[in-house]
């Protein structure tokens, strides 16, 4: 089932009292503009989408969000990545937020976020945003790369962030534990097998084809 942005906008702007807009219950549903639905604990689902048309502080946006979080003080035009975040229960939108950040552009894909317990962590340009569920209040935001945070993974007592220029470990409070930089960006021409976590060992390959074996606990080379 495809749901267009006009229908989604109408649901978000409709008063709660009369909101009858229901999304189908599936783990991942891709709709226009990279919208993805992720089911999680507590009966809540998260909707994520790229919303590059959104401009903070503008009255002429296609989408209107209940909450807006921007990392940094850049002008609106410098927020290269803008994601829409929605909380749904029984298929009905109960909260929404826009997150914006500068740096490189990130998209919505299976490893760009972690939905756990009562919060969601999302890669957005050079930062990781942590929002509560279902309120979508901002718990913290951490700049984890000088360019782009591509992926985020669970690890013991925290998370591993696969960035364009750095590999980072952050704790549950968003504090950076360690960072590791290579000789070039951490990806390959194909992107295949360029970043693998196996237990406490991280294998990362940079653009020059150099493989780094890193201790996930300490951030040191093995």
Q: Give the pLDDT confidence of 140-173 residue by residue, as tens digits.
A: 999 999 999 999 999 989 999 999 999 999 999 9
- Are 100 and 129 within 8 A, CB to CB? no
**Considering the domain 144-222, what is its CATH architecture?**
Beta Barrel (2.40)
Residue-wise pLDDT tens digits, 174-221: 999 999 998 899 998 876 778 999 999 999 999 999 999 999 999 999
* CB burial of residue 71 (10 Å; 0-12, 13-18, 19+): buried
DSSP one-letter code for 63: S
Distance CA 159, CA 135 (A): 22
Given a contact cutoff of 8 angstroms between Cβ atoms, the answer to whether 144 and 150 are in contact is: no
- According to DSSP H, which parts of the chain are helical? 5-13
Q: pTM of whole model > 0.95?
A: no
CB contact at 8 A, 108 and 83 = yes
Q: Residues of CATH 2.40.10.480 domain(s) within the chain?
A: 144-222
């Amino acid at each position: 089932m495809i749901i267009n942005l006009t229908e989604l906008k109408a649901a978000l702007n409709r008063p709660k009292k009369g909101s009858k807009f229901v999304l189908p219950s599936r783990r991942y549903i891709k709709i226009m503009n990279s919208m993805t639905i992720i089911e999680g604990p507590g009966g809540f689902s998260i909707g994520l989408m790229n919303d590059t048309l959104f401009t903070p502080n503008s009255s002429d946006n296609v989408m209107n969000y209940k909450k807006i979080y921007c990392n940094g003080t850049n002008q609106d035009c410098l927020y290269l990545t803008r994601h829409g975040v929605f909380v749904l229960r029984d298929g009905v939108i109960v909260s929404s937020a826009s997150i914006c950040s500068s740096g490189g552009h990130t998209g919505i894909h299976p490893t760009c976020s972690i939905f756990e317990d009562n919060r969601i962590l999302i890669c957005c340009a050079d930062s990781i945003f942590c929002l509560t569920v279902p309120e979508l209040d901002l718990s913290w935001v951490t700049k984890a790369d000088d360019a782009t945070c591509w992926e985020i993974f669970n690890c013991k007592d925290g998370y591993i962030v696969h960035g364009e220029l750095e590999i980072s470990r952050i704790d549950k409070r968003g504090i950076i534990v360690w960072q590791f930089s290579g000789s070039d960006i951490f990806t390959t021409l194909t992107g295949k097998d360029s970043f693998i976590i196996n237990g406490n060992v991280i294998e990362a390959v940079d653009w020059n084809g150099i493989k780094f074996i890193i201790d996930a606990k300490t951030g040191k080379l093995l």
